Amino acid sequence: MSDKKRLKENVLLSVLFIVCYPAGVIRIWKSGKNTFIKVFYAMLGLPLFIALYSFLSMILFAAFLPPLDLSVGNRKDRTIINSAGNYSATFIKTANETDHVYELIEVEVEPAGGNDPHYHKDFDEHFSVVKGTLTVYKEGVPHKLEVGDSTVAIKQTMHHFRNETDSPILIHVKTTPANGLEKTLRVAYGLINSGQLKNNFTENPWHMCLLLGYSGSYLEGMPSFIQEPLVNSLAKIAQWKGEDKDLEVFYR
């Protein structure tokens, strides 16, 4: 048998082994491979099989759940304060006020403040500078923005922003279409102020799933074909479990 045919057979065997574990095990043990390879495949395939079918089962279950609720109540407070960094966010235009066409928020960013690399699947994010100098990274490339400058991170673009100066800066963040930015910030600031969000992670893991779901944010380091359905499914399951009830105090 040629090396090409042997490689093709091994690939097909591996796929069969993971997707249909029992059939894969039978096929391997009937083959002429030595016992070590048979045992190795059997031991390696079981956890992969369990992980794969658990992942697929979760996605299938979540597909029948209601969509994630991104609505916010009729709040009177237009400005919220993040006590951990002592900076603020002011909602200039909310999704309800623009019929969900866009959201516009004024954000104060403290020195060395900013966020981690991420991308959004369903909306573009626009940045403009009101005071100071903002550095926006798009696909790892820095773009320094002065007062009056603006830039946009279109859908699927990995990006993040930083205040790399010694003074607080003021920026406008606009998302088109509106897609949960207000709810994300209200919940995140509320969890920070109540001590439930520290070092970029929540005490309740379900709350982290909801935050990622509300913001429609996906982080670097995990393939999108895994991360997107994983985040969306976990967020919908968290809502189905009622984990969002503890967060209503921040946005209702």
Query: Does 73 fall in a domain?
Result: no
Strand locations in the chain (E): 79-82, 87-93, 103-109, 118-120, 124-131, 134-138, 141-145, 150-153, 159-162, 169-176, 197-198, 201-202, 217-219
Tell me whether residue 69 is in a domain: no
The percent of residues above 90 in pLDDT, for the chain, comes to 72
**Res 83: pLDDT:** 85
Do residues 129 and 167 make contact, with C-beta atoms less than 8 angstroms apart? Answer: no
The residue length of the chain stands at: 252
Please report which confidence band the pLDDT of residue 59 belongs to, taking 50, 70 and 90 as the band edges.
very high
Looking at the fold, whether 141 and 225 belong to one and the same domain comes out as yes
Please give the pLDDT value at position 143: 98
- With a cut of 90, say whether residue 34 has pLDDT above it: no
In this structure, are 130 and 55 located in the same domain?
Answer: no
Q: How many folded domains does the chain comprise?
A: 2
Give the Å distances, CA to CA, from 42 to 38, 55, 128, 203.
6, 20, 56, 37
Full domain range(s) for residue 35: 3-63
**Token duo for residue 175:** 């998302």
> What pTM value is reported for the model?
0.81
Cα–Cα distance for residue pair 64/2, rounded to 1 Å: 47
* Torsion 56-62-64-70 (CA) sign: negative
Chain-wide mean pLDDT for the chain? Answer: 89
Residue 71 counted as domain residue? no
- pLDDT tens for 197-241 read 998 899 999 999 999 999 999 999 899 999 999 999 999 999 999
Whether residues 228 and 109 share a domain: the answer is: yes
* The two three-digit tokens of residue 87, written as one number: 């900076």
In a domain, 68, yes or no: no
Contact 13, 24 (CB under 8 A): yes
In a domain? residue 240: yes
User: pLDDT tens digits, residue range 93-125?
Assistant: 999 999 999 999 999 999 999 999 999 999 999
pLDDT over 70 percentage in the chain: 85
| CA dist., res. 218 & res. 221, Å (int) | 10
CATH number, domain at 228? Answer: 2.60.120.10
